[in-house]
């Protein structure tokens, strides 16, 4: 009897270890894949860094014909469009997530969830085409009007400058915002849903309004998860290729004017790779990919730091 | 047969070619029905396609061919693949496009069986081709148009210097004196010019800028300062479109726009095209005849490479573009080699009569015969 | 069968609000305004979605419905300028590539996430893994395609262009999404459930499999679905990896393939009205396909979580 139990125990242990081993193997595989990607990109881009050096990051000119490869305009474009996308998408996504979980009657919940999921299944190239054919032409008068409002206003007048075309930083930012909304919404919603009912009931019982309950109980509970969701969205916005490429205008530029055409890192890779025959140009394009990689790295470092600090502060307060 | 009927109803012209082609594949003379996308004129060329390969039996070809490369001739290759499919039902040919550069590097890495390219492989890259020696087989030629959108201007003439000014934004209004000088007697509107160009790296951009460099570049004492290449440093303020169709779309949707677009896309979008001043000082419209005339005067090198832009001759259109298919001479698989030869043979025989119906000009006869000789080197 | 734990779902619906009559007007107004803004957010995304779908349906319906059965049963027209239906090759290609990518990425991603949350926690390896997956989420989709092209396709030559190569690129794209969302969901499973299971003598693996995962299943599924939907709609990673077939190919390991997203992009680049129509038709097909799939998987997950409760 005791023997059988021991046998069972060791069997259990084997199963336990095997399972654990499998999960570790999963983790190791992921790291290996990423390492492989990083190594491939790094080795293929070394030529550009060797020949261009630091000027790769500080040179704003992109002139393959004269062997000048600068990434600055593209770094700028990627940052600006991703920033616009996040600024626009985060409030909307949180609004949807909160509305679904805290406000909507239960019969309305599923349709809203289905709707945001539907946004996620619209392929990126369709957003791009829709952006060119439908959105961009309609945005020109809007941009002109907005630019008129801010004309002469310091700073804002520069940011919302005159618009010459429909394919601009702002257009790309808008399209990206729509694309990342379902990601941020979906994860935020799941996170918010797990907020213990006792916390919420407690807040309400203490006389809080719904909004106070949300800020006091729901959002504090979910902050970490929501930041994670935003990071995923930001990563997507920075790496999205086809949709942004089609609507950003493909004119490398560094300007405060959000209503002017620009270009971004993934977009230039997609559009220039087909005709990149020289080693120098290919390497420069891969180096753009590596640059984006590093940018994501920095953003993630920053986010981790912010989340950790927020967590510490929360614990300190409670 | 049911399918054939359906197709015929929809595009009688193109289908006629394939059916006639099928019927006459053993005869040495082919009757051509010209059915352009805009005009449906019938012309009888009766051009002899005599050669060792004419009337080849394609039905024995079997297997698959994978290719990528230039997008400029893609709609010609696609149509040829579709008509050849009726003659060689067991052969599948896949031409993925992606750009001349992609084609060349795909062939270099042996990821494709053959590749299309608008440009020549650079000398320093030849050694990188994993499969060893390769040959150029020219296939068709076509003009690159300057399409514009000015409803009030029915015909427009442009000199290379004016085109350079428009794309360098030194000429920004349609009523500019330079444009007026090219167009005596034409009332030009007071309208800002929107210069449309390619967003993606492109063989079309390369041929267009090579023409400008040759005509009005620094060496020619002109003002074109952007050099040439598949991507040049366009001034901010020009508008970019993805592919020929993207540029055509900007032109067709923007009054005052001008863009360089291949003839096939210009016609499909029903754009107005400008006549361009050639080396002989004549304004020539972008027609297949103009492209052919440019090819007549071109200097063909031994490996069958040549450049058509800024060609000599009164009737030559100055921005004509050439394109090749490149393939390795050494082929490990004889069946594959036969398939490549079969497809290329089709392009240079039946394909040459198909080309004008879809806005590509056939090769001059002398070049076509040389091209056929090059086909024989593949897998030989 | 499973260890009995309290699986009552938190907050199935909006909580009952307390009587706000005693609350100051300022607070009440702020509450009303914020509630209204939340409603507006839903409306905004709803309107945008309607605009996008409206355009797709208006431009794509005629070819999909007008050529009804053939659109789904015939291969793709060889020459884009010719009219005529047929998108079967791309529908099959999308299914083959996405399914293969899912089979690779989802188990791997979930395994990684389980390690992160159940075993690794705050260890150095876990922290770096967590960090690296966020970085991976930022690798542009086109670079994933180039990576697979350089690393996988080129060594295999012409035979390298196939559904599996495309699936590898898509899997790389899906992986970080699956890991991040799964970990997020696992993290939110209350610790006391694990403790209860362990206290009853279950092993760690058993606890994970029978308590933690079922509890987190709806969230994991919805996160994985996002990844699948993303993969199905991606164009850039496939351009260099999958080929440009126009004939149907069910085999991911041999022969080139294509996908709906590639067909959308390729046809949209052609000027011919026939190709333009085909692009929108393919877009409509892809959206419907993805939505049907999402709907099925959602109902499945809903049934799963209900089954767990009874």
pLDDT digit string, tens, across residues A138-172: 998 999 999 999 988 888 888 898 887 888 999 99
Mention the CATH class of domain B3-140+329-375: alpha beta
- The phi, psi pair for B277, rounded to 5°, reads -70, 130
Mapped onto helix, strand or coil, the DSSP state of residue B26 is coil
Q: What is the pLDDT of residue C13?
A: 47
> How far apart are alpha carbons C271 and B358 in whole angstroms?
13
- Nearest alpha carbon to residue B99 among B64, B127, B74, B128: B74
- Asked whether the predicted pLDDT for residue A9 surpasses 80, the reply is no
First to last CA, chain A: 52
Cβ neighbours around B330 below 10 Å, total: 13
CB contact under 8 A, A275 and B233: no
The CA–CA distances, whole Å, from C45 to A137, A176, A235, B85, B364 equal 20, 13, 21, 47, 58
- Among the listed residues C123, C140, C141, C142, the one whose alpha carbon sits nearest the alpha carbon of residue C131: C123
Average pLDDT taken over every residue of chain B: 86
Task: Out of A98, A134, A300, name the one closest to residue C134 (CB).
Answer: A300
Rounded to whole angstroms, the Cα distance separating A214 from B353 reads: 73
- In chain C, the number of structural domains is 2
Chain B touching partners, 3 or more CB pairs below 8 A:
A, C
Q: Note whether C227 and C302 are same-domain residues.
A: yes
The answer for residues whose C-beta is within 8 angstroms of residue A267's C-beta and 6 or more apart is A74, A77, A241, A244, A245, A248, A250
Among C112, C113, C140, the residue to mutate for chain A (most A Cβ within 10 A): C140
**Residues forming beta bridges with residue B67, ordered by sequence position:** B95, B114
The better pLDDT of the pair A299, A35 is held by A35
Residue C298 has pLDDT above 80, yes or no: no
CA distance A285 to A276: 8
pLDDT of the residue at C134: 80
Could you tell me if residue C7 is inside a domain? no
| Confidence (pTM) | 0.85
Residue to test with chain C: of B268, B336, B343, B360, most C Cβ within 10 A = B268
Supply C184's token pair: 């997020």
Residues B119, B84: contact at Cβ < 8 Å?
Answer: no
Element (H, E) at B148: strand B134-148
Highest mean pLDDT among A51-55, A196-200, B323-327, C218-222: B323-327
Beta bridge partners of B196: B239, B259
Domain identity same for C33 and C148: no
**Residues A124, A245, A93: CA angle, nearest 5 degrees:** 50
Average pLDDT over residues C149-158: 91
Digit-coded pLDDT (tens) for A223-256: 888 888 888 788 888 888 888 888 998 888 899 9
d(CA B114, CA B77): 13
Using CA coordinates, name the residue in chain C closest to A287. Answer: C143
pLDDT digits (tens, 9 = 90+) for B192-216: 999 999 999 899 999 999 999 999 9
Total residue count of chain A as it appears in this document: 318
List, as one string, the DSSP characters of C182-248: HHHHHHTS-HHHHHHHHHTT--HHHHIIIIIHHHHHHHHHHHHHHHHHHHHH--HHHHTTS----S-
| Whether residues C77 and C215 fall in one domain | yes
Give dist(CA A197, CA A183) in Å, integer: 24
Answer yes or no: is pLDDT of B162 > 50.
Answer: yes
The pLDDT value recorded for residue A309 is 74
Task: Give yes or no for A69 touching B (CB within 8 A).
Answer: no
Q: Which residues contact B318 (CB under 8 A, 6 or more apart)?
A: B160, B211, B215, B276, B277, B278, B279, B284, B294, B309, B310, B311
Q: Note the pLDDT of residue B79.
A: 95
Q: What pLDDT is stored for residue C155 in this prediction?
A: 92
Residue A278: band (very low, low, confident or very high) from pLDDT cuts 50, 70, 90 = confident
What does the DSSP assignment read for B267-336?
Answer: HHTT-EE-EEE-TTS-EE---HHHHHHHHHT----TTS----TT--STT--TTEEEEEEEEES--S-HHH
Task: Determine, yes or no, domain membership for A6.
Answer: no
Residue with token string 């890259």: B125
* DSSP, res A279: H
**DSSP states of B181-224 as a string?**
HHSTTPPPP--B-EEEEESS--HHHHHHHHHHHHHHSGGGT-S-
The Cα–Cα gap between C187 and C122 comes to 12
C230: nearest CA partner in chain A = A121
Cα A157–Cα A159–Cα A160 angle in degrees, nearest 5: 65
Which H helix or E strand runs over A2? helix A2-52
Domain that holds residue C290: 70-309
Lowest mean pLDDT among A201-205, B44-48, B115-119: B44-48
- What is the number of structural domains in chain A? 1
- The answer to whether C113 touches B107, Cβ cutoff 8 Å, is no
What count of CB pairs under 8 Å joins A to B?
Answer: 86
pLDDT at A7: 73
Q: Provide the token pair at C88.
A: 């079967």
Among A56-65, B277-286, B344-353, C99-108, whose mean pLDDT is lowest? A56-65
What is the end-to-end Cα distance of chain C in Å, rounded? 11
- Clarify whether residues C169 and C56 are in a common domain: no
A103/C39 touch (CB, cutoff 8 Å), yes or no = yes
Q: Provide the pairing of β-strand B114-117 with B320-328.
A: antiparallel
Pick from A276, A289, B107, B348: nearest CA to C136: A289
User: Bigger pLDDT: A187 or C199?
Assistant: C199
Has residue A3 been placed in a domain? no
One domain for residues C221 and C152:
yes
| Structural tokens at position C285 | 């097909």
Does C215 map to a domain?
yes
- Nearest by CB to C79, from B78, B94, B248: name it: B78
Q: What is the DSSP letter of B73?
A: T
CB contact under 8 Å between B101 and A276, yes or no, is yes
Residues 231-250 of C with CB under 8 A from B: 239, 243-247
- The CATH class given to the B143-295 domain equals alpha beta
Strand duo A62-63 + A68-69: pairing: antiparallel
Q: Report DSSP letters for A178-234, one per residue.
A: HHHHHHHHHHHHHHHHTS-HHHHHHHHHTT--HHHHIIIIIHHHHHHHHHHHHHHHH
Query: With contact defined as beta carbons under 8 Å apart, do B6 and C84 qualify?
Result: yes
List the one residue out of B377, B359, B372 whose CA is nearest residue B50.
B372
User: Which tokens hold the place of A174?
Assistant: 């808008």
pLDDT tops 60 at residue A274: yes
- Enumerate the residues of chain C whose CB falls inside 8 A of the CB of residue A119: 45, 48-49
Write out pLDDT tens, residues C18-77: 556 667 888 889 989 999 999 999 999 999 999 999 999 999 998 998 878 889 999 998
**Residue C108 and residue C185 in one domain:** yes
Asked whether residue C232 is assigned to any structural domain, the reply reads yes
Contact A235 C138 (CB under 8 A): yes
Residue C300 has a pLDDT of 72
Write down the pLDDT at residue C20: 62
Among the residue ranges A266-270, B312-316, C7-11, the one predicted with the least confidence is C7-11
Over 70: is that where the pLDDT of C218 sits?
Answer: yes
Domain with A182, as residue range(s), is 20-314
To the nearest whole percent, how much of chain B has pLDDT over 70?
85
**Structure-token pair, residue A81:** 């469009």
Distance CA B329, CA B379 (A): 5
Residue C235 to chain B, least CA–CA distance (Å)? 13
Q: What is the DSSP letter of A65?
A: G
Q: Which two tokens stand for residue A270?
A: 């997609």
In this structure, the answer to whether residues C153 and C270 fall within a common structural domain is yes
Assign C143 a pLDDT band (cuts: 50, 70, 90).
Answer: confident
Per-residue pLDDT band at B147 (split at 50, 70, 90): very high
Neighbours of B321 (CB within 10 A): 28
Q: Which of A178, A218, A212, A2 is nearest to A97 (CA)?
A: A218
Is C175 among the domain residues?
yes
The Cα–Cα gap between B131 and B332 comes to: 10
CA pair distance C147, C248, nearest whole angstrom: 26
Q: Which of A200-214, C2-16, C94-108 has the lowest mean pLDDT?
A: C2-16
Is C243:C237 a contact under the CB 8 Å cutoff? no
Q: Where along chain B do the CATH 3.40.190.10 domains lie?
A: 3-140+329-375, 143-295
Mean pLDDT for B220-225 is 93
Of B101, B228, B237, the CB nearest to A274: B101
List residues bridging with B116 in a β-sheet. B69, B325
CATH number at C250 reads 1.10.3720.10
pLDDT of residue C9 exceeding 90: no
Of B199, B227, B230, the CB nearest to A250: B199
Asked if C236 and A241 touch (Cβ cutoff 8 Å), the reply is yes
What is the reported pLDDT for C21? Answer: 66
Reading the block at residue B103, the tokens are 């084609």
Q: Determine the average pLDDT of the residues in C287-291.
A: 86
SS3 assignment, position B120? coil
**Residue C121 located in a structural domain:** yes
Q: Which of A8-17, A124-133, B34-43 has the highest mean pLDDT?
A: A124-133
Burial B99-136 (b: 16+ CB within 10 A, else e): bbbbbbbbbbbbbbbbbbbbbbbeeeeeeebebeebbb
Coil, strand, or helix at residue B93?
A: strand
Residues 6+ apart with CB under 8 A from B222: B160, B161, B164, B215, B216
| A217, pLDDT greater than 80 | yes
Are the beta carbons of C165 and C102 closer than 8 angstroms?
Answer: no
- In this prediction, residue A316 has a pLDDT band, given cuts at 50, 70 and 90, of low
Give the pLDDT band (50/70/90) at residue B271.
Answer: very high
Q: Does the distance separating the beta carbons of C270 and B245 come in below 8 Å? A: yes
- The answer to whether residues C137 and C225 belong to one domain is yes
User: Do the chains contact at C269 and B245, CB–CB below 8 Å?
Assistant: yes
Q: Report the distance separating Cα C154 and Cα C300, nearest Å.
A: 40
Band (B380; pLDDT cuts 50, 70, 90):
low
Q: Would you call C48 and A178 a contact, using CB atoms and an 8 Å cutoff? A: yes
Contact (CB, 8 A) for A78 and A266: yes
More confident of the two residues A12 and C171 = C171
Last residue of a domain, one of C42, C65, C88: C65
Segment C103-109 mean pLDDT:
95
Question: Which of these three, C45, C65, C85, is where a domain ends?
Answer: C65
For chain C, the average pLDDT equals 86
A287: domain CATH number? 1.10.3720.10
- Report which DSSP code applies to B66: E
Helix residue ranges, H only, chain C: 25-66, 68-73, 88-114, 124-137, 141-148, 154-156, 163-187, 191-199, 204-207, 213-233, 236-239, 260-268, 273-309
CA dihedral C231, C234, C240, C245 (to 10 degrees): 90
């Amino acid at each position: 009897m005791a023997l059988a139990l021991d046998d069972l125990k060791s069997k259990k242990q084997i199963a336990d270890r095997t399972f654990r081993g499998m999960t570790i193997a999963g983790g190791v595989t992921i790291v290996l894949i990423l390492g492989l990607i990083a190594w491939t990109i790094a080795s293929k881009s070394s030529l550009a860094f060797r020949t261009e050096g630091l000027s790769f990051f500080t040179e704003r000119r992109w002139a393959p014909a004269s062997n000048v490869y600068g990434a600055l305009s593209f770094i700028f474009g990627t940052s600006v469009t991703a920033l616009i996308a996040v600024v626009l998408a985060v409030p909307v996504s949180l609004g949807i997530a909160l509305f679904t979980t805290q406000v909507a009657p239960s019969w309305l919940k599923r349709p809203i969830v289905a709707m945001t999921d539907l946004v996620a299944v619209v392929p990126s190239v369709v957003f791009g085409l829709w952006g060119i054919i439908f959105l961009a032409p309609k945005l020109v008068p809007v941009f002109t009007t907005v630019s008129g409002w801010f004309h002469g206003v310091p700073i804002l007048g520069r940011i919302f400058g005159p618009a010459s075309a429909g394919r601009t930083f702002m257009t790309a930012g808008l399209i990206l915002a729509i694309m990342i909304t379902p990601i941020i919404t979906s994860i935020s919603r799941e996170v918010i849903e797990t907020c213990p009912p006792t916390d919420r009931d407690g807040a309400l019982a203490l006389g809080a309004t719904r909004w106070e309950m949300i800020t006091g109980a729901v959002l504090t509970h979910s902050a970490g998860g929501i930041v994670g969701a935003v990071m995923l969205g930001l990563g997507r916005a920075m790496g999205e290729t086809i949709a942004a490429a089609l609507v950003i205008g493909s004119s490398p530029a560094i300007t405060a004017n959000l209503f002017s055409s620009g270009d971004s890192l993934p977009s230039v890779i997609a559009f220039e790779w087909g005709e990149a025959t020289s080693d120098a140009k290919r390497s420069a394009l891969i180096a753009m990919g590596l640059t984006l990689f590093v940018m994501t790295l920095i953003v993630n470092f920053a986010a981790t730091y912010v989340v950790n600090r927020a967590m510490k502060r929360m614990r300190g307060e409670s | 047969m049911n399918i054939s009927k359906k197709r015929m109803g929809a595009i009688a012209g193109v289908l006629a070619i394939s059916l006639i082609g099928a019927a006459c594949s053993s005869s040495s003379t082919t009757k051509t029905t010209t059915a352009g996308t805009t005009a449906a004129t019938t012309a009888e060329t009766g051009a002899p396609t005599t050669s060792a390969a004419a009337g080849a039996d394609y039905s024995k070809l079997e297997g698959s061919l994978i290719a990528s490369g230039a997008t400029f001739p893609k709609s010609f290759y696609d149509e040829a693949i579709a008509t050849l499919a009726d003659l060689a039902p067991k052969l599948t040919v896949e031409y993925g496009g992606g750009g001349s550069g992609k084609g060349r590097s795909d062939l270099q890495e042996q990821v494709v069986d053959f590749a299309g390219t608008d440009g020549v492989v650079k000398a320093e890259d030849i050694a990188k081709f994993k499969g060893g020696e390769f040959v150029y087989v020219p296939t068709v030629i076509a003009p690159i148009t300057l399409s514009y959108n000015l409803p009030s201007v029915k015909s427009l003439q442009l000199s290379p210097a004016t085109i350079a000014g428009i794309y360098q934004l030194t000429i920004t209004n349609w009523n500019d004196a330079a444009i007026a000088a090219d167009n005596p007697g034409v009332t030009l509107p007071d309208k800002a010019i929107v210069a449309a160009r390619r967003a993606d790296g492109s063989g079309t951009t390369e041929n267009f800028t090579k023409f400008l460099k040759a005509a009005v570049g620094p060496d020619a004492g002109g003002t074109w300062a952007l050099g040439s290449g598949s991507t040049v440093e366009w001034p901010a303020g020009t508008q970019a479109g993805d592919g020929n169709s993207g540029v055509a779309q900007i032109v067709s949707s923007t009054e005052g726009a001008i863009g360089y677009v291949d003839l096939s896309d210009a016609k499909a979008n029903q754009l107005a095209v400008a006549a361009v001043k050639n080396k002989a000082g004549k304004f020539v419209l972008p027609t297949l005849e103009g492209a052919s005339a440019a090819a007549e005067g071109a200097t063909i090198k031994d490996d069958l490479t040549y450049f058509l832009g800024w060609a000599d001759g009164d009737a030559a259109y100055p921005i004509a573009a050439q394109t090749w298919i490149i393939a390795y001479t050494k082929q490990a698989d004889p069946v594959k080699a036969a398939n490549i030869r079969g497809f290329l043979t089709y392009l240079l025989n039946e394909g040459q009569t198909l080309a004008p119906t879809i806005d590509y000009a056939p090769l001059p006869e002398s070049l076509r015969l040389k091209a056929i000789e090059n086909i024989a080197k593949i897998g030989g | 069968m499973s260890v009995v734990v309290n699986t009552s779902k938190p907050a199935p619906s909006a909580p009952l609000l307390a009587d706000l009559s005693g609350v100051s007007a300022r607070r009440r107004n702020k509450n009303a305004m914020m509630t209204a803004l939340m409603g507006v957010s839903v409306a905004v995304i709803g309107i945008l979605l309607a605009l996008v779908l409206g355009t797709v349906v208006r431009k794509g319906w005629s070819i999909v419905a007008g050529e009804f059965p053939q659109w789904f049963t015939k291969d793709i027209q060889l020459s884009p300028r010719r009219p005529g239906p047929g998108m079967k090759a791309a529908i099959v290609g999308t299914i083959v590539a996405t399914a293969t990518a899912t089979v690779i990425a989802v188990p791997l991603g979930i395994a990684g996430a389980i390690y992160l949350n159940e075993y690794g926690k705050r260890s150095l390896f876990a922290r770096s893994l967590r960090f690296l997956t966020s970085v991976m989420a930022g690798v542009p989709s086109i670079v994933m395609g180039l990576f697979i092209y350089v690393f996988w396709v080129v060594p295999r030559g012409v035979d390298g262009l196939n559904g599996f190569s495309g699936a590898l690129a898509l899997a790389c794209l899906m992986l970080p999404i699956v890991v991040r969302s799964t970990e997020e969901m696992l993290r939110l499973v209350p610790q006391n459930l694990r403790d209860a299971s362990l206290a009853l003598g279950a092993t760690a693996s058993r606890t994970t499999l029978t308590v933690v995962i079922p509890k987190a299943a709806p969230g994991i599924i919805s996160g994985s679905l996002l990844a699948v939907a993303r993969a199905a709609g991606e164009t850039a990673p496939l351009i260099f990896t999958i080929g440009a077939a126009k004939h149907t190919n069910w085999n991911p390991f041999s022969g080139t393939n294509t996908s709906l997203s590639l067909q959308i992009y390729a046809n949209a680049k052609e000027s011919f009205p026939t190709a333009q129509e085909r692009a929108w038709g393919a877009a409509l097909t892809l959206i419907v396909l993805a939505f049907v799939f999402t709907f099925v998987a959602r109902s499945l997950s809903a049934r799963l979580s209900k089954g767990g409760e009874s």
